[in-house]
Protein backbone atom coordinates (compact mmCIF):
# COMPACT_ATOMS: atom_id res chain seq x y z
CA UNK A 1 0.00 0.00 0.00
CA UNK A 2 1.02 3.64 -0.40
CA UNK A 3 2.67 5.20 2.64
CA UNK A 4 3.66 8.66 1.38
CA UNK A 5 4.05 11.07 -1.53
CA UNK A 6 6.79 13.67 -1.99
CA UNK A 7 7.04 16.35 -4.70
CA UNK A 8 9.61 18.88 -5.96
CA UNK A 9 9.22 21.69 -8.48
CA UNK A 10 12.03 22.14 -11.00
CA UNK A 11 12.04 25.11 -13.39
CA UNK A 12 14.58 25.04 -16.19
CA UNK A 13 15.24 27.62 -18.92
CA UNK A 14 14.88 26.54 -22.54
CA UNK A 15 18.09 27.00 -24.58
CA UNK A 16 15.80 27.82 -27.52
CA UNK A 17 12.86 29.73 -25.93
CA UNK A 18 9.41 28.92 -27.32
CA UNK A 19 8.67 32.65 -27.59
CA UNK A 20 8.54 35.57 -25.18
CA UNK A 21 5.82 33.90 -23.09
CA UNK A 22 7.53 30.49 -22.89
CA UNK A 23 11.18 30.86 -21.84
CA UNK A 24 11.19 27.80 -19.54
CA UNK A 25 9.61 24.47 -18.67
CA UNK A 26 8.40 23.18 -15.30
CA UNK A 27 8.75 19.64 -13.95
CA UNK A 28 7.05 18.47 -10.76
CA UNK A 29 8.92 15.37 -9.65
CA UNK A 30 7.16 12.75 -7.54
CA UNK A 31 8.35 10.02 -5.21
CA UNK A 32 5.62 7.59 -4.13
CA UNK A 33 6.60 5.58 -1.08
CA UNK A 34 4.97 2.19 -0.54
CA UNK A 35 5.49 -0.82 1.65
CA UNK A 36 7.13 -2.45 -1.38
CA UNK A 37 9.53 0.37 -2.24
CA UNK A 38 9.53 3.80 -3.89
CA UNK A 39 8.48 4.76 -7.40
CA UNK A 40 9.57 7.93 -9.18
CA UNK A 41 7.49 9.92 -11.65
CA UNK A 42 6.71 13.45 -12.73
CA UNK A 43 4.14 15.93 -13.92
CA UNK A 44 4.99 18.59 -16.50
CA UNK A 45 3.71 21.92 -17.73
CA UNK A 46 5.64 24.23 -20.04
CA UNK A 47 4.10 27.51 -18.92
CA UNK A 48 0.91 27.64 -16.85
CA UNK A 49 0.12 26.15 -13.46
CA UNK A 50 3.16 24.34 -12.01
CA UNK A 51 2.44 25.58 -8.49
CA UNK A 52 -1.22 24.54 -8.85
CA UNK A 53 -0.20 21.06 -10.02
CA UNK A 54 2.13 20.70 -7.04
CA UNK A 55 -0.61 21.90 -4.68
CA UNK A 56 -3.04 19.28 -6.03
CA UNK A 57 -0.45 16.57 -5.47
CA UNK A 58 0.49 17.78 -2.00
CA UNK A 59 -2.96 18.63 -0.64
CA UNK A 60 -5.59 16.67 -2.56
CA UNK A 61 -3.84 13.58 -3.89
CA UNK A 62 -1.35 12.66 -1.16
CA UNK A 63 -3.92 12.44 1.62
CA UNK A 64 -6.35 10.44 -0.50
CA UNK A 65 -3.93 7.77 -1.72
CA UNK A 66 -2.11 6.96 1.52
CA UNK A 67 -3.17 3.49 2.64
CA UNK A 68 -4.54 2.59 -0.81
CA UNK A 69 -3.50 0.11 -3.48
CA UNK A 70 -0.31 0.48 -5.50
CA UNK A 71 -2.01 -0.90 -8.62
CA UNK A 72 -1.99 2.11 -10.96
CA UNK A 73 -5.03 1.17 -13.06
CA UNK A 74 -7.21 0.59 -10.01
CA UNK A 75 -6.06 3.72 -8.20
CA UNK A 76 -6.34 5.96 -11.28
CA UNK A 77 -10.10 5.46 -11.54
CA UNK A 78 -10.62 5.99 -7.82
CA UNK A 79 -8.58 9.18 -7.86
CA UNK A 80 -10.23 10.60 -10.97
CA UNK A 81 -13.65 10.22 -9.34
CA UNK A 82 -12.28 11.95 -6.25
CA UNK A 83 -10.86 14.92 -8.16
CA UNK A 84 -13.49 15.20 -10.87
CA UNK A 85 -15.34 18.16 -9.37
CA UNK A 86 -12.12 20.20 -9.68
CA UNK A 87 -12.19 19.53 -13.42
CA UNK A 88 -12.24 16.38 -15.50
CA UNK A 89 -8.95 17.28 -17.17
CA UNK A 90 -6.21 19.87 -17.38
CA UNK A 91 -4.55 20.59 -14.05
CA UNK A 92 -6.40 17.61 -12.55
CA UNK A 93 -5.05 15.01 -14.96
CA UNK A 94 -1.60 16.64 -15.15
CA UNK A 95 -1.31 16.20 -11.39
CA UNK A 96 -2.65 12.66 -11.55
CA UNK A 97 0.13 11.77 -13.99
CA UNK A 98 2.67 12.44 -11.28
CA UNK A 99 1.22 9.60 -9.22
CA UNK A 100 0.43 7.26 -12.09
CA UNK A 101 3.91 7.43 -13.62
CA UNK A 102 5.55 6.80 -10.26
CA UNK A 103 3.41 3.70 -9.67
CA UNK A 104 4.23 2.29 -13.12
CA UNK A 105 7.91 3.03 -12.50
CA UNK A 106 7.75 1.07 -9.25
CA UNK A 107 5.94 -1.84 -10.88
CA UNK A 108 8.47 -2.14 -13.70
CA UNK A 109 11.49 -1.81 -11.42
CA UNK A 110 10.10 -4.49 -9.09
CA UNK A 111 10.00 -6.77 -12.14
CA UNK A 112 13.48 -5.52 -13.14
CA UNK A 113 12.30 -4.60 -16.65
CA UNK A 114 11.80 -1.41 -18.59
CA UNK A 115 8.32 0.07 -18.79
CA UNK A 116 8.15 -0.98 -22.46
CA UNK A 117 8.92 -4.59 -21.62
CA UNK A 118 6.53 -4.59 -18.68
CA UNK A 119 3.67 -3.41 -20.91
CA UNK A 120 4.71 -5.62 -23.82
CA UNK A 121 7.10 -4.26 -26.43
CA UNK A 122 5.70 -4.57 -29.95
CA UNK A 123 8.17 -2.41 -31.88
CA UNK A 124 11.97 -2.61 -31.90
CA UNK A 125 12.22 1.09 -32.75
CA UNK A 126 10.09 4.12 -33.62
CA UNK A 127 10.60 7.05 -35.95
CA UNK A 128 11.37 10.49 -34.51
CA UNK A 129 10.42 13.68 -36.32
CA UNK A 130 12.14 17.02 -35.86
CA UNK A 131 9.93 19.66 -34.29
CA UNK A 132 10.38 23.23 -33.15
CA UNK A 133 8.44 26.07 -31.55
CA UNK A 134 9.67 28.43 -34.23
CA UNK A 135 6.93 30.83 -35.33
CA UNK A 136 9.01 33.69 -33.91
CA UNK A 137 12.09 32.62 -35.90
CA UNK A 138 13.11 34.64 -38.91
CA UNK A 139 12.89 32.83 -42.24
CA UNK A 140 16.66 32.41 -42.19
CA UNK A 141 16.59 30.92 -38.67
CA UNK A 142 13.77 28.57 -39.65
CA UNK A 143 15.60 27.31 -42.74
CA UNK A 144 18.77 26.80 -40.69
CA UNK A 145 16.81 24.73 -38.17
CA UNK A 146 15.35 22.53 -40.89
CA UNK A 147 18.84 22.03 -42.33
CA UNK A 148 20.00 20.85 -38.88
CA UNK A 149 17.18 18.31 -38.80
CA UNK A 150 17.93 16.94 -42.24
CA UNK A 151 21.65 16.75 -41.42
CA UNK A 152 20.72 14.71 -38.33
CA UNK A 153 18.84 12.22 -40.51
CA UNK A 154 15.26 13.35 -39.95
CA UNK A 155 12.95 12.35 -42.79
CA UNK A 156 9.97 14.19 -41.29
CA UNK A 157 9.75 17.63 -39.67
CA UNK A 158 7.08 19.91 -38.20
CA UNK A 159 7.06 23.70 -38.18
CA UNK A 160 4.74 26.33 -36.76
CA UNK A 161 2.39 28.44 -38.87
CA UNK A 162 -0.04 31.20 -38.00
CA UNK A 163 1.56 34.48 -39.01
CA UNK A 164 -0.72 37.51 -39.21
CA UNK A 165 -0.29 37.50 -42.98
CA UNK A 166 -1.00 34.16 -44.67
CA UNK A 167 1.42 35.10 -47.44
CA UNK A 168 4.26 34.95 -44.91
CA UNK A 169 3.22 31.42 -43.90
CA UNK A 170 3.24 30.47 -47.58
CA UNK A 171 6.78 31.81 -48.00
CA UNK A 172 8.01 29.96 -44.92
CA UNK A 173 6.40 26.63 -45.80
CA UNK A 174 7.68 26.92 -49.38
CA UNK A 175 11.23 27.54 -48.14
CA UNK A 176 11.06 24.54 -45.81
CA UNK A 177 9.70 22.31 -48.55
CA UNK A 178 12.58 23.37 -50.78
CA UNK A 179 15.09 22.28 -48.13
CA UNK A 180 13.28 19.01 -47.51
CA UNK A 181 12.81 18.09 -51.15
CA UNK A 182 9.81 16.12 -52.40
CA UNK A 183 10.29 12.92 -50.40
CA UNK A 184 10.74 14.01 -46.78
CA UNK A 185 7.52 14.59 -44.85
CA UNK A 186 6.34 17.99 -43.64
CA UNK A 187 3.76 18.73 -40.96
CA UNK A 188 2.50 22.16 -39.86
CA UNK A 189 1.06 23.25 -36.50
CA UNK A 190 -1.03 26.41 -36.05
CA UNK A 191 -1.46 26.08 -32.26
CA UNK A 192 -5.13 27.21 -32.23
CA UNK A 193 -4.34 30.56 -33.93
CA UNK A 194 -7.11 30.43 -36.56
CA UNK A 195 -10.87 30.19 -36.70
CA UNK A 196 -12.66 27.92 -39.19
CA UNK A 197 -12.80 30.38 -42.15
CA UNK A 198 -9.13 31.30 -41.71
CA UNK A 199 -8.17 27.63 -41.54
CA UNK A 200 -10.02 26.81 -44.72
CA UNK A 201 -8.30 29.68 -46.51
CA UNK A 202 -4.92 28.50 -45.23
CA UNK A 203 -5.50 24.86 -46.16
CA UNK A 204 -6.54 25.83 -49.68
CA UNK A 205 -3.20 27.57 -50.17
CA UNK A 206 -0.81 25.46 -48.08
CA UNK A 207 -1.97 22.03 -49.25
CA UNK A 208 0.12 22.49 -52.42
CA UNK A 209 3.23 21.73 -50.36
CA UNK A 210 2.34 18.06 -49.75
CA UNK A 211 1.57 18.21 -46.04
CA UNK A 212 1.45 15.09 -43.88
CA UNK A 213 -0.93 16.79 -41.45
CA UNK A 214 -2.26 20.13 -40.20
CA UNK A 215 -2.17 20.27 -36.41
CA UNK A 216 -4.58 22.06 -34.07
CA UNK A 217 -5.43 25.08 -36.25
CA UNK A 218 -8.64 25.93 -34.34
CA UNK A 219 -9.43 26.22 -30.62
CA UNK A 220 -8.92 22.72 -29.27
CA UNK A 221 -12.41 22.27 -27.79
CA UNK A 222 -14.34 23.40 -30.90
CA UNK A 223 -15.57 19.99 -32.01
CA UNK A 224 -18.14 21.41 -34.43
CA UNK A 225 -15.51 23.44 -36.30
CA UNK A 226 -13.14 20.48 -36.60
CA UNK A 227 -15.92 18.35 -38.00
CA UNK A 228 -16.60 20.95 -40.69
CA UNK A 229 -12.89 21.35 -41.38
CA UNK A 230 -12.23 17.66 -41.90
CA UNK A 231 -15.06 17.49 -44.45
CA UNK A 232 -13.32 20.22 -46.45
CA UNK A 233 -9.61 19.65 -45.89
CA UNK A 234 -7.42 17.72 -48.35
CA UNK A 235 -4.80 17.65 -45.58
CA UNK A 236 -5.20 15.18 -42.66
CA UNK A 237 -6.18 16.86 -39.38
CA UNK A 238 -4.20 16.19 -36.19
CA UNK A 239 -5.04 17.26 -32.64
CA UNK A 240 -4.92 16.08 -29.06
CA UNK A 241 -2.24 17.85 -27.05
CA UNK A 242 -5.03 19.87 -25.42
CA UNK A 243 -7.56 17.04 -25.17
CA UNK A 244 -7.40 15.56 -21.69
CA UNK A 245 -9.84 12.67 -21.30
CA UNK A 246 -10.76 9.50 -23.15
CA UNK A 247 -14.33 10.78 -23.36
CA UNK A 248 -13.25 13.86 -25.30
CA UNK A 249 -11.04 11.80 -27.62
CA UNK A 250 -14.06 9.55 -28.15
CA UNK A 251 -16.16 12.58 -29.10
CA UNK A 252 -13.68 13.77 -31.75
CA UNK A 253 -13.25 10.28 -33.18
CA UNK A 254 -16.99 9.54 -33.23
CA UNK A 255 -17.67 12.88 -34.94
CA UNK A 256 -15.12 11.98 -37.65
CA UNK A 257 -13.35 15.25 -36.85
CA UNK A 258 -9.75 14.00 -36.70
CA UNK A 259 -7.31 11.81 -38.62
CA UNK A 260 -4.39 11.65 -36.17
CA UNK A 261 -4.67 11.98 -32.39
CA UNK A 262 -1.77 13.31 -30.32
CA UNK A 263 -2.32 12.55 -26.63
CA UNK A 264 0.27 13.97 -24.27
CA UNK A 265 0.95 11.23 -21.72
CA UNK A 266 1.19 13.68 -18.81
CA UNK A 267 -1.76 15.86 -19.79
CA UNK A 268 -4.14 12.90 -20.07
CA UNK A 269 -3.13 11.66 -16.63
CA UNK A 270 -0.33 9.18 -17.17
CA UNK A 271 0.31 5.77 -18.69
CA UNK A 272 -3.00 4.30 -17.52
CA UNK A 273 -5.31 6.61 -19.53
CA UNK A 274 -2.83 6.92 -22.40
CA UNK A 275 -3.04 3.17 -23.07
CA UNK A 276 -6.85 3.31 -23.06
CA UNK A 277 -6.85 6.21 -25.52
CA UNK A 278 -4.45 4.33 -27.82
CA UNK A 279 -6.75 1.31 -27.89
CA UNK A 280 -9.76 3.54 -28.58
CA UNK A 281 -7.95 5.02 -31.57
CA UNK A 282 -6.83 1.61 -32.78
CA UNK A 283 -10.41 0.31 -32.70
CA UNK A 284 -11.41 3.18 -35.00
CA UNK A 285 -8.37 3.03 -37.31
CA UNK A 286 -7.14 6.47 -36.19
CA UNK A 287 -3.39 7.10 -36.11
CA UNK A 288 -1.65 8.01 -32.85
CA UNK A 289 1.37 10.32 -32.65
CA UNK A 290 2.26 10.98 -28.98
CA UNK A 291 2.87 14.63 -28.11
CA UNK A 292 6.30 15.74 -26.83
CA UNK A 293 8.29 14.17 -23.94
CA UNK A 294 10.35 11.76 -26.11
CA UNK A 295 12.04 10.05 -23.15
CA UNK A 296 8.59 8.87 -22.06
CA UNK A 297 6.47 8.86 -25.22
CA UNK A 298 9.21 7.05 -27.15
CA UNK A 299 9.14 4.17 -24.69
CA UNK A 300 5.34 3.98 -24.80
CA UNK A 301 5.36 4.11 -28.60
CA UNK A 302 7.42 0.89 -28.56
CA UNK A 303 4.42 -0.86 -26.95
CA UNK A 304 1.88 0.22 -29.57
CA UNK A 305 0.52 -2.28 -32.09
CA UNK A 306 0.78 0.23 -34.93
CA UNK A 307 4.02 2.15 -35.63
CA UNK A 308 3.91 5.71 -34.31
CA UNK A 309 6.01 8.81 -34.87
CA UNK A 310 7.48 10.51 -31.81
CA UNK A 311 7.98 14.27 -31.57
CA UNK A 312 11.38 15.62 -30.54
CA UNK A 313 11.48 19.40 -30.15
CA UNK A 314 14.97 20.72 -30.79
CA UNK A 315 17.05 21.01 -27.60
CA UNK A 316 13.97 20.53 -25.37
CA UNK A 317 14.23 16.90 -24.27
CA UNK A 318 14.93 16.23 -20.60
CA UNK A 319 18.48 15.24 -21.53
CA UNK A 320 19.10 18.45 -23.49
CA UNK A 321 17.68 20.51 -20.62
CA UNK A 322 20.13 18.93 -18.19
CA UNK A 323 17.33 17.55 -16.02
CA UNK A 324 18.45 13.93 -15.83
CA UNK A 325 20.68 12.59 -13.07
CA UNK A 326 21.93 9.84 -15.39
CA UNK A 327 21.66 8.73 -18.98
CA UNK A 328 18.46 9.00 -21.03
CA UNK A 329 16.36 5.81 -21.29
CA UNK A 330 16.13 6.29 -25.07
CA UNK A 331 18.66 6.70 -27.84
CA UNK A 332 18.07 8.46 -31.17
CA UNK A 333 20.26 7.84 -34.21
CA UNK A 334 19.33 8.99 -37.73
CA UNK A 335 15.76 9.72 -36.52
CA UNK A 336 15.32 6.17 -35.13
CA UNK A 337 14.53 5.86 -31.42
CA UNK A 338 15.35 2.77 -29.36
CA UNK A 339 15.30 2.12 -25.61
CA UNK A 340 18.29 1.38 -23.42
CA UNK A 341 16.35 -1.15 -21.34
CA UNK A 342 16.84 0.50 -17.97
CA UNK A 343 14.31 -0.77 -15.37
CA UNK A 344 11.20 1.31 -14.71
CA UNK A 345 10.80 4.58 -16.55
CA UNK A 346 14.58 4.50 -16.85
CA UNK A 347 15.45 7.96 -15.53
CA UNK A 348 15.61 10.12 -12.45
CA UNK A 349 15.60 13.90 -12.31
CA UNK A 350 18.57 15.69 -10.85
Catalytic residues: 160, 291
Answer whether 70's CB lies under 8 Å from 40's CB.
no
For the chain, the C-alpha Rg in angstroms (whole number) is: 20
Q: Where are the alpha helices (DSSP H) in 84-195?
A: 91-110, 115-119, 139-151, 166-180
Give CA–CA dist 260/281, Å, rounded: 9
Helices 72-83 + 271-283 axis angle, to 10? 100
Sign of CA dihedral 222, 227, 228, 230: positive
Answer whether 249's CB lies under 8 Å from 226's CB.
no
Q: Name, in order, each residue with C-beta under 8 angstroms of 98's C-beta and a sequence gap of 6 or more.
A: 7, 28, 29, 30, 41, 42, 43, 53, 57, 61
CA distances from 306 to 186, 309, 316, 348 (A): 21, 10, 26, 29
Amino acid sequence: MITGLETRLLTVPLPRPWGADAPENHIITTAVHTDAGTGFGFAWTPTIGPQAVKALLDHDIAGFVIGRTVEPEVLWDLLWKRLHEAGSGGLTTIAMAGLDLALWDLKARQANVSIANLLGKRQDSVTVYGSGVNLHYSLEELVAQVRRWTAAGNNAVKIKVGKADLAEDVDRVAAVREVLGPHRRLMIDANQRWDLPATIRAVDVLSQFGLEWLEEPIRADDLWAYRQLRKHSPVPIALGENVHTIYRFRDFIAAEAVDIIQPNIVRVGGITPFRRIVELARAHSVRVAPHLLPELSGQLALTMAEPAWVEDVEDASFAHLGLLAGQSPVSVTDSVLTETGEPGLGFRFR
